[in-house]
Chains A and B, each alone.
Chain A
Amino acid sequence: MRGNATIELALILSITVPLLLGIAGVGIRLGRTLDGLQITRDVAHMYALGADFSLSGTQAIARTLSRDFNLSASGNGVLILSRVVKVFQADCNAAGVPSCPNLNQTAFAQRLVIGNSGLRASNFGTPPASYIDTKGNISSASYCKQSTLVASGFDSVLSLAQGQSAYLVEGYFSMPEINLAYFGSAPGGYYVRLVF
């Protein structure tokens, strides 16, 4: 009977240790997921209320808000900010594009990226850099006619009224070291999308 206790303990530990590790992993992952969601929400809220995230000072605020993630060019998180508009005729007329090729389509009017842009691209497409100015803005003359500026798939998420705009923030947060759970995004990371 000698050694029985050791064997029993080993058996128990073989179950409890993975279980405890799993709980810890899920807990840490959950915490970081909640942090990613919160930073995305905070930035989306500020963006919708007029914060200018093309300014380095405002981007610094976003980085400060992000506790668990590094929103630098080589960091482990990225926020993709887009303002999208439903193109309508009056907008095209005012922009001097009466033919309005993108009429009734949802197009990008602004694109800004904070963090490591190499981690993930937007689910709705990436506007060509040639149409984006230093403030991230895309002119109405461009988004009224350039097909590459249409936000593909956005209408299936949200149908905007003519002339209405929406503030879209997509966040992706890489956490390959805690890939014990899966929260519906690409392996190793958490993707969240909020429309304000």
Chain B
Amino acid sequence: MCGLSSKRPVRRGGQRGFVQMFGALMLVFILVPAAGLAVDVGMMYLVQSLLSAASDGAALAGARALSRGSDDAAERANAEATANAYLRANFPSGYMWSTNFNPQSQAATDSDHVRSLTTTASVDLPLLFLRIFRTESTTISATSKATRRDANVMFVMDRSTSLQQSGSCTPLKNAAKNFIDRFAEGRDNVGLLTFGTSSLIDNALSTTFKTATTTTLNNVSCNGSTNTAQGLWQAYTALVNLNQAGALNAIVLFTDGLPTALTQTFSIKATSNCTDKTAKQGAAYAVSNGSNPSGLYPWVGTTQPMSSDLSVLTTATTNNCSFRSTQSNLYKDVVNAPVTDSSGNSLDATGYMSVGHTAGLINLTDFNHGATNAADHAALRIRRGDALTGGQSLANVVIYTIGYMDVDETLLKRMANDASLSPNPVAAGAHGKYRYAGDASQLNDAFLSIASEVLRLAQ
């Protein structure tokens, strides 16, 4: 019978300290290098992320700075200096023991109406653990690019009597000058149109606009009614004629009240005293709905800037017309208002305000509502890129509106297609912005806000 026996494992001398040795080897060859690799790679990630963010911010700021300067060369130099300064501001010197920080920026013209700013930044990062592989440091770099489209901006400025009455004409002109100064001379095209009962492009779209528009604005008098539809369409016509689809095309409308005036071709009543019974084109206004319009006035200004437009038409064709002696007697001369104004804007298409019809014409007593609807329709047609009479058109025009004091904010939001108005029954085309200024002290901020929006969109 065999007895049970057991054998205890014999520990040989060669196995002694195996765990210690294995642990030490693992520590030296795996854990410490792994930890070192993690630290070094982590630092590289962190530096790369911050450098990339710094480069991104610098490129955007540099592209914005392309607006500053007297000509293209000065603007580029400003942009490059600005971008380098932002790079330094965003990436602290010696961050994570880095050395040889090298910010570089380059402004370039990409196409006819697009300029760009490219930033490249590099830095040497010393390595802590990877030195065991004879790698003392590594170079980390980041590149960003931002583009800026040239902006073509028609500034459509209400200069109606109410601005003079509220003492706002001078603050308005100061804010407008500050607004125009934000754009880049030599690249951006800026024009100025002022409107009251009539309107005039005081300064055509031009890349040399700062001095000219400042002079005009200094001489503007605030006088007249509010022929918004005509002003908008004239501005659109100027942008269409400039024909720069690659640029950002924008209309900035400032107004302090509801549209009250329209330019139309009125048929003359058979009972009118007018010697000449042919239809007459002119501007008329009605300060409130329910009252007959007064007129007729010249509808396009001839002197720059328009200082007054309250002299009725005194051509030979208006001899003996009742409105020549008393403006409010216009209703004795003309049949009701045509459905469209002289620019093709409809007095009833958008239906924003109710208007009555008689024999296919708009009742004269609804002339004021018709003027509001025409402005609404003009903005819609512009955003849609409708064709001019000659067939030319321009897509993607953005409308910005600035309302001052007693304005219809809903109307101005509709006209700008502001995203805050939802739903917008006349939503079409690009989204613009509406800004409101409640008093003279807020005018400058409203203008700066819109300038900022235009320039941001140009990027």
Contact = CB atoms under 8 A, between A and B. Distances in A.
Interface stretch (B35-43, B244-252, B300-308): B35-43
Contacts of A44: 53, 57
A147 interface: no
A103 interface: no
A5 B127 CA distance: 37
B85 interface: yes
B406 interface: no
Given A4-B16, A30-B42, A41-B53, A95 B441 contact: yes
A37 interface: yes
Contacts of B50: 37, 192
A93 interface: yes
Interface string A36-69: 0110110011001110000000000000000000
A50 B457 contact: yes
Contact of A195 (B18, B32, B57, B459): B57
A96 B171 contact: yes
A49 B457 CA distance: 8
Contacts of A15: 23, 27
Interface string B43-71: 00110011011101100110001001000
Contact of A90 (B19, B49, B181): B181
Given A12-B20, A95-B441, A194-B54, A23 B459 contact: no
User: Main secondary structure on chain B at its contact with chain A?
Assistant: helix
A26 B38 contact: yes
B78 interface: yes
Given A30-B42, A45-B60, A23 B20 contact: no
A34 interface: yes
A26 B42 contact: yes
A129 interface: no
Contact of A9 (B23, B24, B45, B65): B23
B128 interface: no
A139 B65 CA distance: 23
A11 B21 CA distance: 11
B278 to A, nearest CB: 48
Given A49-B456, A140-B445, A195-B89, A94 B20 contact: no
User: Main secondary structure on chain A at its contact with chain B?
Assistant: helix
B458 to A, nearest CB: 11
Interface residues of A, number: 51
B174 A93 contact: yes
A8 B57 contact: no
B134 interface: no
B11 interface: yes
Interface residues of B, number: 57
B46 A140 contact: no
Nearest to B181: A90
A3 to B, nearest CB: 11
Interface in A148-165: 157-159, 161, 163-165
Contacts of B162: none
Interface string B434-453: 00000011111101110011
A33 interface: yes
Given A12-B23, A50-B453, A94-B175, A158 B68 contact: no
B238 to A, nearest CB: 25
Contacts of B60: 45, 48-49, 196
Contact of B65 (A4, A37, A49, A164): A164
A23 B38 contact: yes
B23 A34 contact: no
Contact of B445 (A50, A137, A163, A164): A137
B90 interface: yes
Contact of A91 (B26, B49, B444): B444
Contacts of B78: 161
Given A26-B38, A164-B82, 18 more contacts: A8-B20, A11-B23, A12-B27, A15-B23, A23-B34, A30-B42, A34-B45, A34-B49, A49-B456, A94-B444, A95-B441, A159-B85, A164-B68, A166-B86, A194-B54, A195-B61, A195-B89, A196-B57
10 contacts: A12-B24, A19-B27, A23-B38, A37-B46, A45-B60, A50-B457, A94-B443, A139-B442, A163-B68, A164-B82
Interface of B: 11, 16-20, 23-24, 26-27, 31-32, 34-35, 38-39, 42, 45-46, 49-50, 52-54, 56-57, 60-61, 65, 68, 78, 82, 85-86, 89-90, 171, 174-175, 177-178, 181-182, 440-445, 447-449, 452-453, 456-457, 459
Nearest 10 A-B pairs (CB), nearest first?
A: A12-B23, A158-B89, A196-B57, A41-B53, A8-B20, A94-B178, A94-B444, A8-B19, A50-B456, A94-B174
